[in-house]
Structure 1
Amino acid sequence: MSNFTPNRRHVLAGIGATLAMPALISRSKAAELTLRLHHFLPAVSPMHKAFFEPWAKELSEASNGAIEVQIFPAMQLGGKPPQLADQAKTGIADIVWALPTYTPGRFLVAETMGLPFLNTTAEKTSVAVHKLMDEFGGNEFEGTKPLAFWSHAGGKMHMRDEPVRTAADLAGKKIRSPNAGMGELLVALGSDPVFFPVTDMVLGLSSGVIDGCCLPYEVVPAFKLQELTKFSSEAAPGARGLYANTNVLLMNQERYEGLSDDLRGVIDANSGIELSRRIGKTFDEFEEVGREVVKKQGNEIVEIPAEEIAKLAEAAKPVYANWEAKLNEAGHDGAAILARANALLDQGA
């Protein structure tokens, strides 16, 4: 995409040296392992071009050509985005990019960081998510091997006809909610939340089914949402973002365990918390790119003042209480998980 190209070199330079690489496998070989990577965004999306393609190349180079990653964007292997985690578990794909929020209530610990105001920068929040999952996630993704957890930058509200400047402006609006927690908050503020995957966003906005949507800027260019909305509202500087969904890169467990030691070593060296940090950092870069696209379109960017953010945060307190109860019912220590999530964010992870 023309809007992304001028920044792509900068993004790639930022991520290229971040992850430590293992020594190259000494023997020269043609690809002996082909991994199919499946995700839901189009091939023009920043994540596809600036992360998945370089990462696939790095795995190939680190294995001296033994690992080949074939990338299938836009659900080309079939199914819907909510089915991606199961596709990794059953082996339909070897690796998937999945959003726990697309299957509400199934991955409760991972979903926790999608609650309102549980995010700072994408990089810091991604590290916090990874640590939280290491400490409390247990077997939440049983049957798969999580390679990374990450978060996008704090979500914004993109509106068709009227901006959101205050909490009161949300009353009566139909807004695409990104997850259950934000949906509860929107209800408390008098909105009518609608939930569907980001891939259905264009139809929802163009048909008038929704008045607006909660999304980070980075998603905007891939779907040309800047042409379907006129206003984007963001939290005042220094405040936590409105929300941020947890993302996860999952590998089929049997596929991972069946690798030779050297190939498994390549995967291990190119996954884990440093990969989470790296992806989060790229999402911070993507956010700036998307924001510039919105500005170039001539849309108005609205800053929600601190006193209005405080009203939203106050309205979110029952959302946290309800989520703590859900975690407890599932056998977790809800209070400990929420306290740890906030502590990690306050510490900068």
Structure 2
Amino acid sequence: MMTTKLAYGLALATLLGITGCSNNTETASTADAATSDPGEVTVLRFSHFMTATDDLNQQIFEPWAKKIEEDSKGRLKVEIYPSATLSKPGVTYEAAAKGTVDIGMQAHGYTAGRFPLSQIVELPGISNTAEQQTCILHKLYDEDVIASEYADSHLLYMVGTGPGALHTIDKPLRTPADMKGLRIRQPSAVASYIIEAVGAAPVGMPAPDTYTALQRGVIDGLSFAWQPVRAFRLDDLVNTHTNIPFYSAALVVTMNKNKYNSLPDDLKKIIDDNSGIEIAMQAADVFDVANAEIMQEARDKGDLMIEVPDPLNDPDWSGPLIEGSQRYLDEVAATGLDAQGVYEKVKAASAACKAKA
């Protein structure tokens, strides 16, 4: 089933890429003809699924929008639409690529098969922090290892969210045996394969739906980095946590290519000067700081904390994690991509980014 999803996602990406190239040719003359009329205001609609009070929205997205407006002297205005009010969480990247929205932020894993090579970075053992994962993603993009997956949009940046953990209500998960038969929310195909490998049932759903699903017993637990536990008020429900870095989700922030190309060069430069690795690392720091704070808050209120810091060398957890990782790589390879070769490049980037930290 995953092979079909991956193949479909890649076919869709290719189609969108072709369409994007066609549109870009059409709009090139528009970009050349664009003038820097100081009286003209271009509004950019920015869609994301985080809440308005989320750390990322308040500390990164809102200041970024303000900076864009200030640097452009009011000629660019960014309107932010949080909580998936403008586009659904799983289609926001495509909405930005097609121009339904101008800028969008989406988790890579929300669309199965859409970013198969980028998601190799999610595998266990690749990163320990949001900062390291963010560094890895940008390094791979700059080295043209994963750049083709974003060819139908104008990429602004990517950011890791930090290692995922397992969170439940009164269900300690000390070994894989404790997960058998449980329904666990999964954010991506990578996490899904690993959850299946330990004998649990992965349930896919966007982050905003997890509170109600857990409250109503639709799921028994969830896999999340710590920051969204507070962002989506899950800390009101969960009280048992297994700190096991078995996957690391990431987000992509991108802009419609035609919208970008339609801007005069000076406004393009303002977008470019406020994008890239620098703001990505600022966003990563927001996740790393929040992850540590929220984990400590859980300890302080007496939640049960189970620590599995090195699962790939843990006698209970290593087998399922390796099995799940290989299943994902095999499924990507079945679509004709060099999954194993990219995996080796991912590991090399991981080592280089860890050395920088």
Give 1:117's aligned residue. 125
Taking a change above 3 Å as real, the CA distance of residues 313 and 29 of structure 1, as seen in their structure-2 partners, is farther
Give 1:85's aligned residue. 93
2:312/2:321 contact within 8 Å kept: no
1:145 aligns with 2:150: no
How many residue pairs get aligned? The number is 317
Taking a change above 3 Å as real, the CA distance of residues 306 and 258 of structure 1, as seen in their structure-2 partners, is closer
Give the letter for the 2:286 counterpart. Answer: T
Q: CA deviation at 1:33?
A: 1.8
Q: How far does the alpha carbon of each residue in 1:283-339 deviate from its partner, in whole angstroms, 9 at most, with x for none?
A: 112212322443354322221264786242332223333333333333432112101
1:114/1:179 contact within 8 Å kept: no
Taking a change above 3 Å as real, the CA distance of residues 62 and 232 of structure 1, as seen in their structure-2 partners, is same
Within 1, Cα distance between the matches of 2:196 and 2:94?
Answer: 30
Within 2, Cα distance between the matches of 1:308 and 1:139?
Answer: 30
Within 1, Cα distance between the matches of 2:290 and 2:313?
Answer: 24
Identity %: 30
Alignment equivalent of 1:46, drawn from 41, 45, 55: 55
Give 1:313's aligned residue. 318
Alignment equivalent of 1:255, drawn from 249, 256, 259: 259
1:166/1:304 contact within 8 Å kept: no
Q: CA deviation at 1:31?
A: 6.4
1:220 aligns with 2:229: yes
Give 1:129's aligned residue. 137
1:106 aligns with 2:111: no
Give the letter for the 1:314 counterpart. Answer: G
Secondary structure, in 3 states, of the residue corresponding to 1:324? Answer: helix
Give the letter for the 2:65 counterpart. Answer: A
Secondary structure, in 3 states, of the residue corresponding to 1:117? Answer: coil
1:113/1:341 contact within 8 Å kept: yes
Within 1, Cα distance between the matches of 2:294 and 2:274?
Answer: 27
Counterparts of residues 51-66 of structure 1 (less than 5 Å): 51-66=60-75
Within 2, Cα distance between the matches of 1:90 and 1:182?
Answer: 28
Within 2, Cα distance between the matches of 1:55 and 1:307?
Answer: 37
Q: CA deviation at 1:253?
A: 0.4
Taking a change above 3 Å as real, the CA distance of residues 295 and 320 of structure 1, as seen in their structure-2 partners, is closer
Within 2, Cα distance between the matches of 1:222 and 1:300?
Answer: 20
Within 1, Cα distance between the matches of 2:183 and 2:203?
Answer: 7
Within 2, Cα distance between the matches of 1:309 and 1:287?
Answer: 23
Alignment equivalent of 2:81, drawn from 51, 64, 72: 72
Within 2, Cα distance between the matches of 1:345 and 1:226?
Answer: 31
Taking a change above 3 Å as real, the CA distance of residues 96 and 306 of structure 1, as seen in their structure-2 partners, is closer
Q: Which runs of 5+ in 2 are unaligned?
A: 1-35
Alignment equivalent of 1:301, drawn from 302, 305, 315: 305
Q: CA deviation at 1:32?
A: 1.9
Secondary structure, in 3 states, of the residue corresponding to 1:71? Answer: strand
Within 2, Cα distance between the matches of 1:39 and 1:30?
Answer: 29
2:45/2:103 contact within 8 Å kept: yes
Q: CA deviation at 1:182?
A: 1.6
Secondary structure, in 3 states, of the residue corresponding to 1:255? Answer: helix
Give the letter for the 2:198 counterpart. Answer: L
Counterparts of residues 114-263 of structure 1 (less than 5 Å): 114-134=122-142, 135-235=144-244, 241-263=245-267
Within 1, Cα distance between the matches of 2:182 and 2:333?
Answer: 32
Q: CA deviation at 1:248?
A: 0.3
Taking a change above 3 Å as real, the CA distance of residues 305 and 139 of structure 1, as seen in their structure-2 partners, is closer
Within 2, Cα distance between the matches of 1:33 and 1:274?
Answer: 24
Within 2, Cα distance between the matches of 1:246 and 1:216?
Answer: 10
Taking a change above 3 Å as real, the CA distance of residues 325 and 203 of structure 1, as seen in their structure-2 partners, is same
Secondary structure, in 3 states, of the residue corresponding to 1:76? Answer: coil
TM-score for the superposition, normalised by structure 1: 0.84
Q: CA deviation at 1:171?
A: 2.1
Q: CA deviation at 1:159?
A: 0.8
Alignment equivalent of 1:291, drawn from 292, 295, 301: 295
Q: Which runs of 5+ in 1 are unaligned?
A: 1-26, 236-240
Decide which moves more: 133-142 or 216-225. 133-142
Q: CA deviation at 1:120?
A: 1.6
Give 2:350's aligned residue. 345
Give the letter for the 1:258 counterpart. Answer: S
Within 1, Cα distance between the matches of 2:312 and 2:121?
Answer: 22
1:295/1:301 contact within 8 Å kept: yes
Within 1, Cα distance between the matches of 2:68 and 2:297?
Answer: 32
- Which stretches of structure 1, 4 residues or longer, exceed 6 Å deviation after superposition? none
